[in-house]
Amino acid sequence: MGGLRLRLDKDVLKCEYCGMPLTEHNVYTREIGGKTHYFCCEHCADAYEAKSR
């Protein structure tokens, strides 16, 4: 729903799994446990989700 609202000029966003810096072009978001998490790719989102279970 809606577009991504990222304040990339203020916040340095990193993949929450591997730590890769994210830009508006490579960011992958997933809602896990009711919160939005940011990753570099689907693979990292899957790995993070599996780890947090």
By CB under 5 A, residue 15 contacts Zn ion: yes
**Distances in Å between the alpha carbon of 5 and those of 2, 8, 11, 24, 51?**
9, 9, 12, 9, 26
By CB under 5 A, residue 40 contacts Zn ion: yes
Find the part of the chain contacting Zn ion (CB under 5 A) among 6-14, 21-29, 38-46. Answer: 38-46
Contact with Zn ion (CB under 5 A) among 8, 11, 18, 42: 18
13, 50, 10, 14: which is closest to 32 by C-alpha?
50
Chain residues binding Zn ion by CB under 5 A are 15, 17-18, 20, 40, 44
